[in-house]
């Protein structure tokens, strides 16, 4: 542990000062922070000639909203053609439907194998872009 000086713990090198040190000795805490900053690499100096133009580039990051797909078409921005569109949907049997149909075919009468294809829970809804036909997402019923 750090040794105590005047009832306070001495700061550990590389760490910011404690709250008590900063509040009771604000100038000493500021000096320690300045000394720590002096160990960093020097910042480059920019010199601008009179009459010249300075161009500043600003990078703006934006968050991407992920659409929630369901049974019905949704309005999204296509990642391929970059247009805002209302998706086209089609239903397709999931792999579970085929597995259940094979199980019913083997274990019972052959005529029962169509039952899984009649259930909505055995289908997934596929969303595509109507402009470029890119796959945008799917929803499992």
Domain ranges of the chain: 4-38, 75-140
What three-state secondary structure class fits 112?
A: helix
Which helix (H) or strand (E) element contains residue 21?
A: helix 19-24
**Model confidence pLDDT, tens digit, residues 113-138:** 888 888 888 999 999 999 999 999 98
Which helix (H) or strand (E) element contains residue 32?
A: helix 26-38
**Model confidence pLDDT, tens digit, residues 66-96:** 778 888 999 999 888 989 999 999 999 999 9
Short-list 85, 89, 80, 83, CA closest to 137: 89
């Amino acid at each position: 542990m750090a040794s105590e000086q005047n009832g306070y713990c001495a700061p550990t090198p590389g760490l910011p000062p404690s709250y008590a040190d900063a509040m009771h000795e604000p100038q000493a805490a500021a000096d320690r922070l300045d000394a720590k900053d002096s160990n960093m690499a020097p910042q480059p100096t920019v010199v601008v000639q009179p009459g010249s133009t300075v161009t500043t580039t600003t990078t703006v990051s934006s968050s991407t909203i992920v659409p929630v797909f369901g049974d019905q078409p949704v309005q999204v921005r296509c990642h391929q053609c970059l247009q805002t569109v209302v998706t086209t949907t089609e239903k397709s049997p999931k792999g579970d439907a085929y597995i259940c149909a094979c199980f019913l075919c083997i274990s019972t009468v052959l005529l029962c194998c169509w039952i899984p294809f009649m259930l909505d829970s055995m289908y997934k809804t596929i969303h595509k872009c109507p402009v470029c036909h890119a796959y945008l997402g799917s929803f499992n019923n």
